[in-house]
Amino acid sequence: MDSVKVGIAGLGTVGSGTVNVLKRNARDIARRVGRPIEITHIGARRDNPACDTQGIRLSRDIFAVATDPDIDILVELIGGIDTARELVLTAIKNGKHIVTANKALIAEHGNEIFQAAQDNGVDVAFEASVAGGIPILKSLGEGLAANHINWLAGIINGTGNFILTEMEEGGRDFNDVLAEAQQLGYAEADPTFDVEGIDAAHKLTILASIAFGIPLQFSQVYTEGISRITTEDVASAAHFGYRIKHLGIAKDTGKGIELRVHPTLVPKETMLSAVNGVMNAVMIHGDAVGPTMFYGAGAGAEPTASAVVADIIELGRALTVDHDERVPYLGFHTDHMSDEPILTIDDVSCCFYLRLHVQDKKGVLADVTRILSDNNVSIDAMIQREVDQGLVPIVMMTHEVREGDMNLALAKIGALDTVDSDIMRIRVETLDA
């Protein structure tokens, strides 16, 4: 039987890792597929000494790979959105199956790409787009396919998790740890995508679509970063028995789907709270299986290449199978996708952590608690710390309240002359089974 011919676009960290894994494990991979997998064409702007490309055709024009008539599977590893979209659509029109690790591409243009693939009778595989080497998408779409998924919550950005871990364990501030993350290569020179939650929002978009059978809706994800978290917040959370994690959360409430990425207080005894450093983890709650957690490396050359190559193997096996008989792109057939609405953040209900600084004057705290009570916010616990430069730091934990009510209360409290308007609010998730 002829070999499966693979073309790779992009020879950076993941591209070189993919070449190395395919070559090193060629014998085992061929046994799994039933025929050899052969890299015959690579498109990259420059060579990468981290991998051996001897005997492989090299092109500086990545589109030469997309139009190569000998290629069965195009592996898109260039990153970005616009050029990657054009490349993938070109390859699809030329009858190539697609493997990609590009979460932004799938989250923002996946609906268009899947339709093009359907029209051209080819497949798109994207396991490596979420949580690196953790086989989370296949587990969610196939291993847990018997379940109605109630909710999922994940630490799906290693940079943010590294920063929060170091802030807690070393008592260091955000900017100090961010600088170290950049030196170590965990964070880019412009860290916005990681620390402000955009990267996690892309990944949550994909997870939620597979979990609930809804179209990809990146624009509907509420997104909040970790750049305002202070050592005071970390210490206060610990006082109440919590750790701060940057979570992507998706829930089926029965009235709509919650899609949100934000700093979150989680109880210390939960499994997610113990996930430290650059590691990723996703908890999923299904009605039949109950809670499960998937943990592992969320990035890196070979962990991500592990997922890329697994997709290549899957497509290699499926090349002789009729397109309509293969597993749907998002786990649900396209004509059975749900139109369940996405809830706005105002309609989300949870407990809250609040930190505010008030003037050291009589009656100020009474004003604050009155406003909270008038807006349906009930206080569960409170700490009042020592006066610092004329201001009293106050930390509160609330009972569950609708976010819209909390927003109204905080707007009124922030308008008081006796309260510093920079009020910190962090949502709390117990992750109950």
Q: What is the CATH number of the domain that holds 143?
A: 3.30.360.10
pLDDT digits (tens, 9 = 90+) for 175-220: 999 999 999 999 999 999 999 999 999 999 999 999 999 999 999 9
Do 145 and 128 have their domain in common? no
Give the count of domains, the chain.
Answer: 3
* Cα–Cα dist 88/90, whole Å: 5
Three-point CA angle 409, 414, 415, nearest 5°: 100
pLDDT digits (tens, 9 = 90+) for 251-299: 999 999 999 999 999 999 999 999 999 999 999 999 999 999 999 999 8
* Cα–Cα dist 248/156, whole Å: 7
* Cα–Cα dist 115/144, whole Å: 25
Q: What's the domain range around 364?
A: 346-428
* Cα–Cα dist 304/15, whole Å: 9
pTM above 0.85, yes or no: yes
Do 169 and 200 have their domain in common? yes
DSSP string, 376-402: T--EEEEEE---BTTEEEEEEEE--EE
Could you tell me if 252 and 150 are in contact, meaning their C-beta atoms sit under 8 angstroms apart?
Answer: yes
Across 101-176, the runs of DSSP E, i.e. the strands, are 124-125, 149-155
Do 163 and 281 have their domain in common? yes
Domain presence at residue 341: no
pLDDT digits (tens, 9 = 90+) for 395-423: 999 999 999 999 999 999 999 999 988 89
Could you tell me if 257 and 347 are in contact, meaning their C-beta atoms sit under 8 angstroms apart?
Answer: no
- CATH number of residue 97's parent domain: 3.40.50.720
Q: What is the mean pLDDT of residues 359-367?
A: 91
Burial class, 308, CB count within 10 angstroms (exposed 0-12 / middle 13-18 / buried 19+): buried
Domain presence at residue 14: yes
Q: Is the pLDDT of residue 322 over 70?
A: no
Residue 416 CA, distance from chain mean position:
38
Q: Is the pLDDT of residue 433 over 60?
A: no
Q: Is the pLDDT of residue 81 over 80?
A: yes
Which is nearest to 130 in space by CA: 188, 211, 50, 54?
Answer: 211
pLDDT at 329: 65
Catalytic residues: 203
pLDDT at 385: 83
Do 18 and 120 have their domain in common? yes
- CATH number of residue 371's parent domain: 3.30.70.260
Q: Last residue of some domain: 336, 359, 383? A: 336
Could you tell me if 403 and 347 are in contact, meaning their C-beta atoms sit under 8 angstroms apart?
Answer: yes
Domain presence at residue 265: yes
pLDDT at 324: 61
pLDDT at 122: 94
pLDDT at 391: 87
pLDDT at 90: 98
DSSP string, 266-327: EETTSTGGG--TTEEEEEEEETTTEEEEEEEE-SSHHHHHHHHHHHHHHHHHHTTS-GGGSP
